Structure 1
């Protein structure tokens, strides 16, 4: 039931519609959002949430409808139009210049200048004020390309604020942030709204949505199906409106691991850059979680295990056998697979088809001389796509036309086609809706139940603790704690910040510093180097 507004809306949307190739993604959407309101948009992937934000931000042009700010009609055909109207868009894809510094990106296009000369001192003073306001910890001199995805998102927020944005549209702003960073960002959103900034938020984290929002709008298949006060809603009622049916939002129970299960993956003294002597082992059928703050070495540990970054010291073993000359090629040959944190930049070729992406990691299995057997490939891709429930119009459709959830499932399918014995997963459900998230969680638990060793890195502490048999915590590149499934999240967060006594179990996952044992060979170019690896190369 729509809520009666008590003041004139700051943002008015009327009859917005958008179609791609004859398929409607938004149909006659109306919104009235008053100044100072945090208004969230929720829905499954493909519901039209991100498209609506891109229309407001000038990244996509609507086919029909109108937009008004402060009661004045505005024409938003380009990002410049949106900025002029006071609308700032923080998108999932990002819009930064990697080769330039943080300071240059924050003031991109509007540097302080006198007679054509930049006045960086004035920009730096404004930057320092923004840092004090937001509580972010960002070095203005650092090149953006060296920053993690989470910190890059902070830079985008700083840039929007520097432009005097009055309507801030944020698409999945907390998807790559640590728990502490999420709390800080939500507190910032509340402060901005209290000061009169209108915040339009898209997020798949329903508890987060309800905690920060004044009202929530649900989109389903491009239609607006509900707008109501956040206080009147629960995660379960939101899900029911999003999918049009009841759905189980609980985590699946992992199957217990036998005490005598063989150790499938083990590593000792892994070291490079932010990773400083990490030991771990994972048994067949076990799901090991890795928690920690951004910059703790979580993703870098997975990349070292897979050989995507060259080891400075340490050794990786599969079924007790050390991997010499560790690289993605040797790791794959030994039965290892890596689902990276960014499917668009590191996992998929967005301009290619679903079939080509899913088949990419296992071409050699169907190669006959210089050719690939097309029939065999189509059959294999169809089988694994059905297994992970990829919903695409046809296998030859461009993968960029799929929703985020289906793209993520395609990334899993790409590696499952190789039938790995060890699966490394970085942010398994980043940017996917609740239905796809439930499917991916079930898939991970089922893979472990079939004997696969799984290592999961996730910024969602609850996801990590509920999915994993046990979780280790990294701080400053070292293992500082180990916790069983069901541990209160506060204890894990405390360990990440250094407020918890170490509880690592010697011989299973205890961190230590050790001498170089087996330096790796240069990595293959299958996964781009991480920011930390570039910095320390």
Structure 2
């Protein structure tokens, strides 16, 4: 229930609009967010959620309309303005200084000082107090660029709280977290709200929204279509408002694997860094899920299978042929493709066009001497774009202008142009909306039904259990369980935690 009462809203948005290249991404949005409220913004990719957060956080300016914080009109032209008004934005892109330590990032430009001299002990005491309040486990001395993405996000939250933020705007904060980390963050959000901090949460996880938020606002095509108490809604009702129609939210049933299906990829004794003696196999038409906590070696295993990192020991075979000196080039030649964890940092060239990105991995197939056959390229890109349903007005538009769901589909399309026999996928639906998520799930099961072998890593245990024929669980870099389809969720989670934690 809203907490506004007789108090002015912590945040009030009046007639806010934003256009890019003549296209409206926000249209005349009016919204009140009460002090101490957890208010969630939901909608499809491209609905305007992140744009609205960036306007509140000063990352971009609105073209029309006004903002009011604590009842007073404000001008927010940059993040410094927003911070001065007690509003802190934690975006998906992050805003840390990679080469500095955790402690330096948390108190950057806000050191404790006396007579111009920094008080290191006072900063450490402040840091320890933040750690005690949040329950995070972060080494203040560690360089930020050496931390996992989820831990970097925790550093951003610590920095915001250290600045005394009264309004915390979080854009997809749980997208990079394991199950227990999500639970801890949601509990922290509840405590912040109880202590009077206003939290604005953008999330594609509707169960999460309904479990932590007081109110929810739905945006569709840049317009506000609903703002209501969460108690009045279910995931299904929110989806109907988000997309304007019914969406099948059930996982598609994967086709049975033929008993005589050949082994497409196998690995034995795979070892490097976190990964210790991992054995696995996947057959034609099979979807093998890999589960585990952050730091269990999931991503590292996929990178070893693709040759992005070179194993110090172990044997990898594709269709019965041992691949020696594994490398991305050799993997691609053998019919193996990798959809990486971060499409922005590892998968796409964000400033280049959709066509250039989709064609990138298969340029050699359309080369005529030193030149690329552009007409053949356009035809190939058009065909695969239709197959995966990339929605974009022009293929020459920069891929960074696409919604998260369309960017992810472009990443799939890039590899499907090579017609791989083995597809490795790391976090297939991270940061995409429910409609795009359903499309990607159907795409994966459809590829497997056509005979492709798929190995899929996901932090969403329900996604793995819903899509996979089998789920392999890693813990501390070792395979500790191989579970068939239909295994209860709690059994898989218990295997991931082992004896060192409790199921959350």
TM-score by length of 2: 0.97
- In the alignment, what sits opposite 1:353? 353
Matched-pair contact (CA < 8 Å) for 2:310–2:325: no
Q: Does 1:292 align with 2:292?
A: yes
Distance 1:485 1:72 in 2: 56
Distance 2:20 2:137 in 1: 40
Distance 1:136 1:256 in 2: 43
- In the alignment, what sits opposite 1:104? 104
**Corresponding residue SS for 1:170:** strand
- In the alignment, what sits opposite 1:167? 167
**Corresponding residue SS for 1:268:** strand
Q: Does 1:199 align with 2:199?
A: yes
Deviation string 1:149-187 (CA, Å, 9 cap, x unpaired) is 111111111111111100000000000100000000000
Deviation string 1:493-526 (CA, Å, 9 cap, x unpaired) is 211111499xxxxxxxxxxxxxxxxxxxxxxxxx
Distance 1:159 1:500 in 2: 29
Alpha-carbon distance, 1:33 to partner? 1.1
Distance 1:47 1:7 in 2: 31
Matched-pair contact (CA < 8 Å) for 1:276–1:478: yes
The structure-2 alpha-carbon separation of the partners of 1:27 and 1:4, relative to structure 1 and needing over 3 Å to count, comes to farther
Alpha-carbon distance, 1:442 to partner? 0.1
TM-score by length of 1: 0.92
- In the alignment, what sits opposite 2:241? 241
- In the alignment, what sits opposite 2:122? 122
Matched-pair contact (CA < 8 Å) for 1:271–1:311: yes
Matched-pair contact (CA < 8 Å) for 2:25–2:222: yes
Distance 1:81 1:284 in 2: 56
Matched-pair contact (CA < 8 Å) for 1:204–1:431: yes
Q: Which runs of at least 4 in structure 1 moved beyond 4 Å after TM superposition?
A: 2-5
- In the alignment, what sits opposite 2:226? 226
Matched-pair contact (CA < 8 Å) for 1:218–1:242: yes
- In the alignment, what sits opposite 1:215? 215
Matched-pair contact (CA < 8 Å) for 1:384–1:417: yes
- In the alignment, what sits opposite 2:484? 484
Alpha-carbon distance, 1:70 to partner? 1.4
Matched-pair contact (CA < 8 Å) for 1:7–1:34: no
Matched-pair contact (CA < 8 Å) for 1:172–1:204: yes
- In the alignment, what sits opposite 1:304? 304
Alignment of 1:45-124 (within 5 A): 45-124=45-124
- In the alignment, what sits opposite 2:5? 6
Distance 1:120 1:59 in 2: 31
Alpha-carbon distance, 1:17 to partner? 0.8
Matched-pair contact (CA < 8 Å) for 1:473–1:481: yes
Alpha-carbon distance, 1:120 to partner? 2.1
Matched-pair contact (CA < 8 Å) for 2:239–2:247: yes
Alpha-carbon distance, 1:52 to partner? 0.2
Distance 1:125 1:500 in 2: 29
Matched-pair contact (CA < 8 Å) for 2:2–2:214: no
Of residues 414-423 and 60-69 in structure 1, the stretch that sits farther from structure 2 once superposed is 60-69
Alignment of 1:359-398 (within 5 A): 359-398=359-398
**Corresponding residue SS for 2:325:** coil
Alignment of 1:295-444 (within 5 A): 295-444=295-444
- Unaligned runs of 5+ residues in structure 2 are none
Matched-pair contact (CA < 8 Å) for 1:170–1:202: yes
Distance 1:220 1:470 in 2: 37
- In the alignment, what sits opposite 1:519? none
Matched-pair contact (CA < 8 Å) for 1:465–1:484: no
Aligned Cα root-mean-square deviation (Å) = 1.4
Matched-pair contact (CA < 8 Å) for 1:494–1:500: no
Distance 1:53 1:426 in 2: 27
Matched-pair contact (CA < 8 Å) for 1:491–1:500: no
Aligned length: 500
Matched-pair contact (CA < 8 Å) for 2:4–2:35: no
Alpha-carbon distance, 1:487 to partner? 2.2
The structure-2 alpha-carbon separation of the partners of 1:4 and 1:157, relative to structure 1 and needing over 3 Å to count, comes to closer
Deviation string 1:355-388 (CA, Å, 9 cap, x unpaired) is 0000000000011111100001000000000000
Alpha-carbon distance, 1:3 to partner? 6.6
Distance 1:493 1:125 in 2: 36
Alignment of 1:432-471 (within 5 A): 432-471=432-471
Distance 1:35 1:5 in 2: 6
**Corresponding residue SS for 1:407:** helix
Of residues 487-496 and 341-350 in structure 1, the stretch that sits farther from structure 2 once superposed is 487-496
Distance 1:11 1:352 in 2: 37
**Corresponding residue SS for 1:282:** strand
Deviation string 1:300-344 (CA, Å, 9 cap, x unpaired) is 100010010121111111011111111000000000000001000
Alpha-carbon distance, 1:488 to partner? 2.2
Deviation string 1:193-214 (CA, Å, 9 cap, x unpaired) is 0000000000000000000000
- In the alignment, what sits opposite 1:529? none
Q: Does 1:494 align with 2:494?
A: yes
**Corresponding residue SS for 1:420:** coil
